[in-house]
Amino acid sequence: MLKLHHIGIEVKDLKKSLAYYETYSQAKYVNQFKIGKELIIFIQLGELTIELIHSSQKKNKKNPSTIHTALQVENVIDWYESLLKKNLPPSEGPYQLSNGWKVVYYQGPNQELIELIQ
């Protein structure tokens, strides 16, 4: 079963973006961490979790979208193996992050980034 986990947005300035969401939409800071060259802040907007992402790397031409959708699954590896059998390889992963999450990334038909997360 798929369930929306979060929406990710690439931002130019994390402090400015966090202040914007806190001021104008009453978002609440949840946590932050670093993955590679990306600094990430999670905020909560009611039932919606938003991931603000700032990267020190130049934009990847392979994934031009600046927004991604993360879908929560019960078992990332099961989904990964099932999609491989359907001839759909991931664009990245699967990985286990330092916070314990397991993730794998796919590109949709319009080059949109789809993250499966456990």
Q: Enumerate domains of the chain plus CATH numbers.
A: 3-117 (3.10.180.10)
Cβ partners under 8 Å of residue 42, min gap 6: 6, 29, 30, 31, 32, 49, 50, 51, 52
Residue showing tokens 């609440």: 28
pLDDT score recorded for residue 60:
57
pLDDT score recorded for residue 1:
82
The token pair that represents 112 in the structure block: 């949109």
Helix (H) or strand (E) run with residue 110 in it: none
Q: Where are the alpha helices (DSSP H) in 26-103?
A: 76-85
Do β-strands 3-10 and 92-96 pair in parallel, antiparallel, or remain unpaired?
A: unpaired
pLDDT score recorded for residue 26:
86
Asked whether 42 and 50 are in contact (CB, 8 A), the reply is yes
Residue showing tokens 């590109």: 107
Low-confidence ranges of the chain (pLDDT < 70): 58-65, 109-110
* Residue 78 buriedness (CB in 10 A; 0-12 / 13-18 / 19+): exposed
pLDDT score recorded for residue 108:
78
